[in-house]
Amino acid sequence: MPGRGWEWPVPEPVLVARGLSYRYPDGDADALRGIDLSLEPGSFTVVAGESGSGKSTLLRAACGLVPHFHGGDVEGELSVGGLDVRERGPGDLAAVCGTVLQEPETQVVMGGVRAEIALALEHAGESATAVARAVEEVALMLGIAQLLDRRVETLSGGELQRVALAAALAGSPSLLVLDEPTSQLDPVAGDELVWLLRRLNEEWGVAVLLAEHRLERCLPAADRVVVMEHGAVVRDDAPAGFLDWAARERPALATPAARLFAGAGLKPLPVTVREARDRLRAGGLLPKAAAGDGADSSSTPNGRLSTRLRRRPPAALALRGVWHEIPDGPAILRGIDLRIAPGERVALMGRNGAGKSTLLRHAKGLIEPTRGRIERGGEIALLLQNPGDYLVHERVEQELGPEGIAAAGLTGRERANPRDLSSGERQRLALEIVLGGATPAVVCLDEPTRGMDRSHKDSLCAHLSDLAGGGAAVLVATHDTELAAELADRIVLLGQGTVIADGPTADVLAGGRHFTTDVARVLGGAGGALTPEQGARLLERELVA
């Protein structure tokens, strides 16, 4: 306790931006506009905003890639760890700022984990003993000591991101910037990474600046949220204040639990699932009904599903005893039986390696089953994980005809290079390419919402629903339970190459622990409510009662 007349010294901010503006060399507009920002040591700040809002550019400025790597014009001031970013490049800033980027595969440089973690320290000219000690300590701290002697090509995406994090932390930086580090990971690996960041922040006092789309994942760890739009900071607040603002002004940024409360007219909005549950319990509003009991199916087509199943129309896609066995490896699919009716919307879920992507490739006919048979009711359109893989020409008009371009909502952008399109636009274009102007029997999509913001997700859902309305079956392999809840009639859960659950969405998701939505977690699966809208209606009934 400080004595009278004694004052704690005010720590120097780890990052200070004053009137920071930046334009890329070939940019038409500023990517950053008049940013004023100050980050205190030991703070945990989340940068929120839609795709293209300037989040990544801000983070790249913090680590010096902007302007030293990308070029372009900078105005205003930016200092990190006391170093002026305009004067000092990423090599100098590496000592004070660790950086983790989006793509796990290309940010690991060396062949072995130990060498990768040691690289930055060796660049700094540290002695061999200092390097060895730092590598051991950071590996123990992040729980990756068992990976030290592994080759990087044998690591999973989550393990690679941890190694990248270890490499960024090895030099004991005071600031850690992370640009959507979970966007390429499955939910379990993503959650683990965020919890690891929270531990680092609490135990080591490392200031964290994290850009992320799935805010429900990282808000519980954050003490501040900075919202960006068109390159400018439009909101800078604590998580609770941010949610209150977002629920009113930018619903697409609000978390499912906050949207649930806002929809039911409850205040204040919760930051965490636990907070939401505690408040409902304290107010006597936590519904007691079991999963599926009194499910609000007005916006889910479960009723329609059962009707359809009774009629038993010809299958859009049927897999009968399908096996996929690697000649010198394990069986990826083990006797899959699956029947999908026209117009049905199915979400294919399961952990990484469960066989989801392999099943979609079989559906399309990219690979042949080693045993079993596949019947297709017509053309199968398949959109793989990375829409950019479909874009092989220099101009949009070379990829698609005028009708397709109009269907993708890209009229007026015919002469644009597909690589210059936003992620949402690229996905729409790729989807129209695989549809080929016709309605196929089945539209298959593999992880279509990876790294996608909520507004793009909503428009994708609407588009897929339209296709289903036109008679196409929709089969989506996804980890995104919120997407599954919004879109699907039915969930097929894969585990180790077999179907371990297959049923209506509310039944499968509301009763799950991992494969469930935040709203179902808050409400304990009551009423089969999965989406904020369903949950809010349920709470309103409780309030009336």
Partner 1 sequence: MRIVPSYRPGASALHAARAGAGIAFCGSFALVSTLYDNPLVLAGALLGVCAAAAGAGVIAELKRAAWFAVPLAVLIVVVNALVNRAGDTVIFRGGTLFGHRIDVTLEAVQYGGMSALRILVLVSAFALYSATIDPDDVLRLLRRFSYRSALTVSLATRLVPVLQRDAQRISEAARCRPEPPRRSAVTVAAITRALDRAVDVAASLEVRGYAGARRPRRQRVAWSRHDLRVGAAALALGSLAVAGKLAGLGTVDPYPIVEVAAGAPELVLAGLLMLGGAAPFVGARARLGVARA
> Which residues here bind partner 1, judged by CB under 8 A?
63-65, 68-69, 89-95, 97-99, 101, 103, 105-112, 114-115, 119-120, 122-125, 127-128, 149-154, 167-168, 171, 361, 364, 366, 379, 381-384, 386, 388-393, 419, 433-434, 436, 438
Residue 444 CB, shortest distance to partner 1, in Å, is 9
Q: Specify the residue, 32 or 520, whose C-beta has the smaller distance to partner 1.
A: 32
Q: Specify the residue, 357 or 455, whose C-beta has the smaller distance to partner 1.
A: 357
Residue 122 CB, shortest distance to partner 1, in Å, is 6
Q: Specify the residue, 208 or 526, whose C-beta has the smaller distance to partner 1.
A: 208
Residue 149 CB, shortest distance to partner 1, in Å, is 6
Q: Specify the residue, 122 or 466, whose C-beta has the smaller distance to partner 1.
A: 122
Classify strands 97-100 and 175-179 as parallel, antiparallel or unpaired.
parallel
Angle at 447 (CA atoms; ends 443, 451), nearest 5 degrees: 130
Separation CA 530–CA 516 (nearest Å): 8
Residue 521 CB, shortest distance to partner 1, in Å, is 34
Distance separating the N- and C-terminal Cα atoms of the chain: 51
Q: Specify the residue, 114 or 521, whose C-beta has the smaller distance to partner 1.
A: 114
Chain CA centroid to CA 349, Å: 15
Q: Specify the residue, 205 or 436, whose C-beta has the smaller distance to partner 1.
A: 436
Closest to 479 (Cα-Cα) out of 161, 185, 180 = 185
Residue 166 CB, shortest distance to partner 1, in Å, is 12
Angle at 481 (CA atoms; ends 487, 368), nearest 5 degrees: 80
**Could you tell me where the beta strands, DSSP code E, fall in 161-215?**
175-179, 207-211
Residue 70 CB, shortest distance to partner 1, in Å, is 9
Cβ burial, residue 386 (10 Å; 0-12/13-18/19+)? middle
Residue type, 222: A
Residue 403 CB, shortest distance to partner 1, in Å, is 13
Closest to 339 (Cα-Cα) out of 376, 299, 379 = 376
Residue 382 CB, shortest distance to partner 1, in Å, is 5
Q: Specify the residue, 313 or 436, whose C-beta has the smaller distance to partner 1.
A: 436
Residue 134 CB, shortest distance to partner 1, in Å, is 14
Is 495:367 a contact under the CB 8 Å cutoff?
A: no
Cβ burial, residue 132 (10 Å; 0-12/13-18/19+)? middle
Q: Specify the residue, 109 or 140, whose C-beta has the smaller distance to partner 1.
A: 109
Residue 375 CB, shortest distance to partner 1, in Å, is 19
Separation CA 535–CA 522 (nearest Å): 9
Residue 368 CB, shortest distance to partner 1, in Å, is 13
Residue 428 CB, shortest distance to partner 1, in Å, is 15
Q: Specify the residue, 152 or 538, whose C-beta has the smaller distance to partner 1.
A: 152
Classify strands 380-383 and 442-446 as parallel, antiparallel or unpaired.
parallel
Q: Specify the residue, 310 or 419, whose C-beta has the smaller distance to partner 1.
A: 419
DSSP-assigned letters across all residues of 245-256: HHHHH-GGGS-H
Cβ burial, residue 528 (10 Å; 0-12/13-18/19+)? buried
483: helix, strand or coil: helix
Tokens 């977690």, located at residue:
521
Is 375:442 a contact under the CB 8 Å cutoff?
A: no
The backbone torsions φ and ψ at residue 46, rounded to the nearest 5 degrees and listed phi first, read -100, 130
Chain CA centroid to CA 202, Å: 24
Q: Specify the residue, 123 or 304, whose C-beta has the smaller distance to partner 1.
A: 123
Please give the torsion angle defined by the CA atoms of residues 427, 431, 437 and 442, in that order, rounded to the nearest 10 degrees.
-160
Q: Specify the residue, 14 or 433, whose C-beta has the smaller distance to partner 1.
A: 433
Is 339:375 a contact under the CB 8 Å cutoff?
A: no
Token code pair at residue 510? 């509301």
Token code pair at residue 162? 């941890």
